[in-house]
Structure formats: structure tokens, C-alpha cells
Chain A
Amino acid sequence: KAGVTQTPRYLIKTRGQQVTLSCSPISGHRSVSWYQQTPGQGLQFLFEYFSETQRNKGNFPGRFSGRQFSNSRSEMNVSTLELGDSALYLCASSLGVRGGRNYGYTFGSGTRLTVV
């Protein structure tokens, strides 16, 4: 079955612009979460959506936002880009908890964003 698909793979933007990243989860997965990875801060949690509702949010400014559609696909948006937003953005999907059983997370290939 298809894995987690993130688009685009690479992106170069200018300071002040905005960007939208897309994530299509594994079929049947309703939980989609986003992470930012930088050399200095490691993997940091941005937010998680479950059945179109934001269930968890990390410690990022309001310039970072996201949403989830009825087909579980998710987008994240970063407005007014700053140089420090340059990072690898990873998306993960999961079945979550079903029937008392926890299910693991599967990650996409990521979107590498460079802000110049």
C-alpha cells in the first residue's frame, strides 16, 4: 500500500513569503502530525490533526498553522517566512489507538524548505 506522501520535496522561498506543504497519509489513517527538524533543535512537534480537528499543538508561533481535510490529507502553512524557518518538515500518519491497541507512526520523505 502507498506510504505517506509529502509534496513538494524541495522548496526555496524568500523571507516574508508564505508557503503551504501537503501531506497525504496512509489510507485509513486519521491521525496526521507534523514535525520540524533543524540541526540545532532536532525534531520538534508542530501539531497533530485527528478527524479534521487539531488535537495537539507544539510550541510554535501563530505563523505556523495547519488543517486536515475530510479525506485525512493535511496541509501546513507558514506565513511571513523567516530565515530560521529553513528546515526539513516531516509528516507522520497513524491509526492511533483502536480497540485498546496503540499503533505506530509512519513518516513521509519530508519537505526541505530553504528560506533565502
Chain B
Amino acid sequence: GIQVEQSPPDLILQEGANSTLRCNFSDSVNNLQWFHQNPWGQLINLFYIPSGTKQNGRLSATTVATERYSLLYISSSQTTDSGVYFCADRGSTLGRLYFGRGTQLTVWP
């Protein structure tokens, strides 16, 4: 299956700062998603972005499928952005996602 590497593993920011999270993939990207895991454990969809760029408020994501990586940008971070961010893709396998280990983001007031 596809290998997913996320960086950085941990990120500590002050409120208002910007950040960039990165995912590298070992194989072709087909179904790339970014998730935010809330304190209760639920994985919240942020973006479905197999290619190109999307924006949603303060968050935006870019996937360069030919180079097998994706970036998640968080601007003007808020304390509510804290949590773990995961990227995942199914690679060439139907029916499952391969996850990275996540980036633990902590935003201080």
C-alpha cells in the first residue's frame, strides 16, 4: 500500500500565526483528504483534494499529484484550530484510506 509521511509531527503556534502542514506520498494520489481530529475523536473532513487548490475560510490546501505531495495552510490560527491534522489517500486500493501519523497542532492564546 501507499506510504504517507506527514510533517512536522508537532507544531506549536501563538494565536494569529500562519502554518503549513505537509504530506508526502509514496505512490500515485487518487483520493487525498485532509482531516482534523477534534478533542472527542471525530475526524472532520477539511478537504477532498486529489489535485489542485481549494480554500475554505482561513484554510486552504494544495495537492501536486505529479510530485506526490499535498500542503495544508492555516492562516491567522485560532485556539480552536488545535488538534491533530491527518492526511490520507487510498492509493491504488479501493475501499480504504492510508493515513499519515498526523500533525499535532497546539495554538496558544
Contact = CB atoms under 8 A, between A and B. Distances in A.
Interface of A: 31, 33, 35, 37, 42-43, 45, 48, 50, 55-56, 58, 88, 90, 92, 96-97, 102-110, 112
B97 A109 contact: no
Interface residues of B, number: 24
B20 to A, nearest CB: 22
Contacts, number: 61
A110 B45 CA distance: 14
**B contacts with A: majority SS:** loop
Contacts of B96: 33, 45, 48, 56, 58
A3 to B, nearest CB: 9
A14 B34 CA distance: 35
B41 A31 contact: no
